[in-house]
Every structure is written in C-alpha cells, then in structure tokens.
Amino acid sequence: MRKLLVPFLSLCAVKAYAFEPFVVQDIKLEGLQRISIGTVFNYLPIKVGDEINDDLTSEAIKKLFTTGFFKDVKIEREGNVLVVFVAERPAIADVSISGNSALPTEQLEQALKQIGLKVGHVLDRSVVTVIEQELQRQYYSLGKYAVKIETTITPLERNRVNVEVKIAEGESANIYAFNIVGNTIFSDKKLLSFMELGGTGILGGRKEYSKQHFAADLEILKSYYQDRGYINFRINSTQVSLTPDKQDVYITVNVTEGNKYKINKIALSGTLIATEDELRKLITFKEGDIFSRKAASLSRTNINDRLSEDGYAFANVNLSPTIDEKNKTVDLTFFVDPGRRVYVNRINIYGNIKTKDEVIRREIRQMEGDWMSTKSIAQSKKRLNRLGFFDDITVETPAVENTNDQVDVNYTVSERSTGSLSAGLGYNDTQGAIINFSISQNNFVGTGNKVSVSINNSSVVQNNTLSYTNPYYTEDGISRGFNIYKRKFSALEASISNYSTNSSGIGVNYGIPMSESDSLGLGLSYDNTEIIAGTTATQELLDFIAASGSSYANYKARLSWSHDTRNKAIFANQGNLASAGIDVTLPGSDLEYYKLSLRYLQYFPIAENVTLLFNTQLGYGKAYGGTLSLPPFENYYAGGSRSVRGYDSNRLGPRDPATNNPLGGNKRVVTNLELILPNPFAENSKSIRFSIFLDAGNVFAENQSIDVGELRSSLGAALIWITPVGLMRFSWANTLNDKPGDDTKSFQFTLGSTF
C-alpha cells in the first residue's frame, strides 16, 4: 500500500506546485524538528546549480517520502530558491505492553523492535496493523487463538507519541481430538502415549495446543518409526482445525509407515584420519541389526568426536543409505570429511574477579598452540565445575580473524561465594541447636587454597579446628594439607550412651592424582583421646575401659583412593564417584584397630532436569594386636538426615539392654536411591534441588552378621536449598519397615550460614 501511495502523493504535489524549469541558486528547508538538515540533503536528489523541472521535483518528493521520516512533503519556488516543506512523523517516546502473562514482556518487545517499533524511532501509523498481526502470530503459536490486541497512540508535546499495547490473551485452545491416519503397525493409543499433545493434562483434562509442541511431536513420531527400522516413514500432511468459538482444535496427521529394513553392509569412506578398525568400534550397530535413526546419529557423533580429539573440530560425517527394496535391507556408508585441522591460538579467561588466572589455567587440559580437542575442552570445563568455585561456566571457540585454521578458547566464569561463616545460626537433627563461629574459605584470596577456622559449640560437640590445604603443593597437582583440632564430645547428649571424650591432635595429608578421574590420598596424624564414663555407662564401655584404660595416644595412617567423574562439585547430575579408604592406628599406639570404608555414587540422567541417583556406603572396623575390640567411640551409627531419613539420628542398630541406648556397631550399610526432579518452585534454579528418595540401612555389632532383612527403609521427599544465610536440608520420610523400639522422626532438617 505504501509503495502505491508514495507515487500518488508525489504526482499530486507536483501537479499542485508545477512551475517552469529554472536553475536552483539556493535550497531552503522548512518544518524540520528532529531530523537533521544533513539527513534531508543526503536523500534530496537536487543540488544548487541543478536545473529543476517537474520530473526532478516528483523524484525528490518520492525519495523524501520513502525515508519514512515524513507524513507530508511539498516543494515550492521563491524566485530561484527551491523551498522544501516537510511535516515530520512523530517520534516514539514510549512503548508499553500490558495484559500479557503467557509471553514475557521482553520477548514481545523484541518482536516489536524487529518490525521497527521502538523508542526513538519514527512512528509509521501503517505499522499499527503489523503490530497486531505480529503479536497475534506469537500468541497463535501458543494456541491462544482468542487473543485480542488493542493499540492506542497518544500524542505528546514536541511531536512525540506514546504507544500502548493492551493484550487480552484469552484461554489456550484445547485439543478435542488427535487422530493419526495411515498407521497399521502401531495403534493410535501407542503412538499418542509418548507425544506431548497426545495424552491428558496434569489433572486429567485435555491438553492445551501449542505449535511448538506439535512440531516436536511430529519429530518424535518420525523418530519413533525410524528408530525401529521404518526408514521410509513419512508424514504426508497435517491438519489443525479450529472450532468457530476458538476454544478447541482438531488435529489430523496422515502418515505412510513403509517397511522395516535391516542393515546389510556398513562401509567407511573418505579421509578417515584414524584407522578404520578404530572408527568401526564407534559405530553403535552391526550388520543384521534393525536400522535405527538414533543409533546412526549417535555413530556419526562418535566419529565426529573422535576426529575432534585430533584437532579436526569441524569435521563433517555424512551417512548415505542405499536401500534394497526387494530384500528390505539397507547399506550404510559413512563419508568422512575431516576438513582442516584447527589449532588453539589463545586461551582467554573472563569473569574471574577473585580467582587468580593460574588457579583456573592449571585445571585446563587444552594447551595453547596445540590442536583443538573438544574432549580436552570439555574435560577442562568439568574440572572447573568440580572446583566448586563457580556458579556457571561457558566456553566459546571463536575463529581467529584472517585465519581458517585457528581459534581462541574463551572460558567465562561466574564466581560463587566460596566462603562460609557460622555464628550462632545452626541446627541439625544430630546435635540440635549449635552455637558456633567458623570461617571457611575454599578459594582463599583467589589462590584455590582452602583455609578453615571453626569453633563449634553445641550440647553434643565442642570442636575447635584449624586446617589448611594447598591443592597444588607441586606443579603436577599433588596436594598437601594440615589440620589441628581439639574436640569434646558428649555421647549422652547425642542420645547414644552416657560417656564423653576429650580429643586433640594434629595431622598432615597428601593427595596424589593418578589420572584425570583417579587420585590417591595419604595421611598421617597423632591423636590423644580421653574417655570419661558416666554413671549409667553401658557395661560394654566399662569393660573396654577396664581392659584398655581411659586415655590413649594413637598414631594414625590413612590410605584412600577415589574415582570421580561427576560433572559438578555441587548439585551434580552426571557421572559417578567411587572411593575406598582404610584408617589404621600404627603398631605401638595405645589402641590398635582399623576401619575400612567403601562408597559408590552414580548419577543416571533420565530426561531433561530428571536424574536418578544411586548411593551406597559401607563401613567396617576391627581391632588387632593387643586391643580386644573396636573402641566404642569409633563405632558406626545410622539414622538421621545424612543416612536413613525418617529414623532418629544415631538410633538404629544394637541397643543396651539396661538403658535402651544405641551401642553402635563395627559394620554399617547405608544405601539411597534418589530421583532428582525439576524444581517445582523456581525453574532452572541453581540453588534448589528437589527429590524423592528411598533410603535403607543399619549398623551391626561385631558378633552379628549383616542381615539384609534387618535393614530399615524409608520413602520420602527432600529439598536442599543454598540460601544467602546457609545451606538448608529438609526431608519428610515415611518409614516402611520400622520395628517396635525404633525411634522414628518424619520431618528432619539442618541449617547453617554462608556468605
């Protein structure tokens, strides 16, 4: 319309103000307010000294109109002076959007900017219709066909306007019927069961229609067939019909299933780089298997990843199928084009305010000047995540300007608080209320070193500790740490038994990396412990004191191994952790005993934001030499928020017949199965984790064997929240097989403080 209107107005203006040709001696502009004189002269095809005529004035008017700056243009003659009169279109002073909830304001504003409606720009009133069409398109994609949009333009002083867009979103159209036509191998019920729009809503009602979800469902449908051998499956057509009241839609999908095909031959072609045998091991299917689109795609990805390890980061692997219709087989050929080998020019680090560059760089496995390896880059990101120093880490690999075989690797980090402070704000289900003061800094002044000073006082424990760890004591990653402590412990207040201990000691420990995922630990320490029996102490404790005394000086050694492939130190959702350790008092100590510990933890990603966690921990202790039994203060206990939730802290296992207090045991079994779910309170929050769990565990005395039937179990839900004032753990559990005498506790929580 605008293209037709401009020439028409131009002809009208020329006709109204036609004049005899003349040579322009000067040009005057009238009516300008915001548009600069230079801008007008830039578009005006007439200059001083030109001979003016009707054709030239017509062209000048047309060009000024097409700028979109003016709503009216006239040209007149005053002697040999050309006078150009313009009326500017108003400028947009403000754009406001109201009534929207299904779509964020930022998204709608971005859509309006793309059609030219933004603050400071000239308003073209013809764009009002376009505004409504664009916003309708946005809402129609969500199935909101009843949306109503009203645009109001309010004039302001100085030739400005406010644009107000009012939206009445209406309800989303529901799916009245979803039909699939042409399927004979799989029923409608089967196919609709895994499609987003095919089932029912959360409360059993009909699903709301969404264009995006429908497109995703079509891709799911196609993948379902092609993953099961139907390589020629196709979607012939789709129809989405809207009822007159715009409240319901009917969906019909017409398909051709085709035949099922098996794989006859698998071939590799092109420049392979790696050996053919090595690449064939990366192919996830074999000859004779049913064709699977998913397996084929995974095989391509595996080959691409392998080539990228040698610097061919932009390799192209294409899969070409040759179909034998007669035998219902398919030959698959992987064509490998490695492209150019890419090298890393610079590794840049951004966003680290506190953490020193060297702390980050020593975790990076990609080297400058070496070829680019996506595996090394990903491993570097994983190692940085496991430090626990950062909330978020992003990696970009932009090409170096004026080169075709070099990239920079840019790591951008978002630092989290790595310090913690507790000052009288604490509670847990084991110690109760805690009066404490502790400072812990896992990234001390940005060096990556950990320093901790704590003075914790509760009715159960009075613990004073100073510790220091340097994770890179040597350049090749050997860590060294020291700790000094003094500790008082009341078993009576912990609901265990009537005794207390006073301990103090000093120790040194080393960590030795064996590979990217494996490390060894070695520690030596000296510990002095005094045990004080209460008036109602158990006979077991009194017998131990009678045999071994009440004060002990022990030299301890610890040897441990760990294998850690978790993707994060906090709130991991991939990988596993396996560890084993032995703590032993050395010969010549007052007490001679050892304790073995085993742990295995595995994350199984199930879907986006859904992860299954399996965790099991085993402990075993035994005396040797002249010591008759494991010291009572070294016994294992179970129950509480850190082991078997739903049972009171430390209350599982053998009991003293006289006092009914738990005795603990020398064997401990705890296992947890946890389903980590999307956050129901704040989607994509990195500070909250919600889960449902199944716990089981118990402890067993030295004269007992581990009896699976004696494991106590519970089922419940848990929430962990990293808040500005500390780490909070909440759990609610229902015990499944508690027995008479067991102490249960459905709701449990702990609270600390961080900064």
Q: Which of 373-387, 551-565, 726-740 has the highest mean pLDDT?
A: 551-565
- 56: helix, coil or strand? helix
Place of tokens 């045998």: 277
**DSSP secondary structure string for all residues of 147-169:** -EEEEEEEEETTTEEEEEEEEE-
Cα separations in angstroms, 531 against 465, 527, 534: 20, 13, 10
For residues 58 and 102, the answer to whether their CB atoms sit within 8 Å is: no
- All structural domains of the chain, each given as residue ranges with its CATH number in brackets, are 2-88 (3.10.20.310), 91-168 (3.10.20.310), 174-256 (3.10.20.310), 262-337 (3.10.20.310), 343-415 (3.10.20.310), 490-751 (2.40.160.50)
Residue 193 pLDDT > 90:
no
**72 pLDDT tier (thresholds 50, 70, 90):** confident
Residue 658 pLDDT > 90:
no
The confidence score (pLDDT) of residue 16 equals 39
**DSSP secondary structure string for all residues of 633-692:** GG-B---STTSSTTB-TT--S-B-TTT--B--BSEEEEEEEEEEE--SSSTT-SSEEEEE
The confidence score (pLDDT) of residue 10 equals 40
Residue 253 pLDDT > 50:
yes
The confidence score (pLDDT) of residue 412 equals 93
* Phi and psi, residue 324, nearest 5°: -105, 100
The confidence score (pLDDT) of residue 700 equals 96
Residue 383 pLDDT > 60:
yes
The confidence score (pLDDT) of residue 11 equals 39
**421 pLDDT tier (thresholds 50, 70, 90):** very low
CA atoms of 291 and 331, how far apart (whole Å): 10
- 603: helix, coil or strand? strand
* Phi and psi, residue 559, nearest 5°: -125, 130
For residues 332 and 267, the answer to whether their CB atoms sit within 8 Å is: yes
**DSSP secondary structure string for all residues of 104-136:** -HHHHHHHHHHTT--TTSBP-TTHHHHHHHHHH
CA atoms of 395 and 413, how far apart (whole Å): 9
For residues 461 and 491, the answer to whether their CB atoms sit within 8 Å is: no
What value does the mean pLDDT of the chain take?
A: 85
When pLDDT is averaged across residues 224-228 and rounded to a whole number, the result is: 94
Percent of the chain past pLDDT 70, that is, above it, reads 90
Residue 755 pLDDT > 70:
no
The Cβ-side half-sphere exposure at 348, using a 13 Å CA radius, reads 13
3-52 confidence digits (pLDDT tens)? 333 443 443 443 335 667 888 888 888 888 777 888 888 888 888 888 88
Q: Which of 95-99, 141-145, 543-547, 582-586 has the lowest mean pLDDT?
A: 141-145
When pLDDT is averaged across residues 239-261 and rounded to a whole number, the result is: 89
Query: To 10 degrees, the CA torsion angle through 481, 487, 492, 496?
Result: 20
For residues 464 and 437, the answer to whether their CB atoms sit within 8 Å is: no
598-638 confidence digits (pLDDT tens)? 999 999 998 878 999 999 999 999 999 989 899 999 999 99
The confidence score (pLDDT) of residue 199 equals 64
Place of tokens 């007149």: 76
Residue 429 pLDDT > 80:
no
Q: Which of 150-154, 272-276, 461-465, 548-552 has the highest mean pLDDT?
A: 548-552
Tokens standing for residue 654: 């053998």
CA atoms of 660 and 638, how far apart (whole Å): 16
**Top-confidence residue, 681 or 678:** 678
Residue 125 pLDDT > 80:
no
CA atoms of 115 and 5, how far apart (whole Å): 20
CA atoms of 363 and 564, how far apart (whole Å): 15
**662 pLDDT tier (thresholds 50, 70, 90):** confident
When pLDDT is averaged across residues 294-319 and rounded to a whole number, the result is: 90
The confidence score (pLDDT) of residue 423 equals 46
CA atoms of 635 and 541, how far apart (whole Å): 11
**DSSP secondary structure string for all residues of 273-311:** SS-HHHHHTT-S--TTSBP-HHHHHHHHHHHHHHHHTTT
Q: What is the pTM of this model?
A: 0.57
The confidence score (pLDDT) of residue 425 equals 45
CA atoms of 110 and 99, how far apart (whole Å): 17
**679 pLDDT tier (thresholds 50, 70, 90):** confident
How many H helices and E strands in the chain?
12, 34
For residues 253 and 218, the answer to whether their CB atoms sit within 8 Å is: yes
CA atoms of 418 and 471, how far apart (whole Å): 15
Residue 581 pLDDT > 90:
yes
**203 pLDDT tier (thresholds 50, 70, 90):** very low
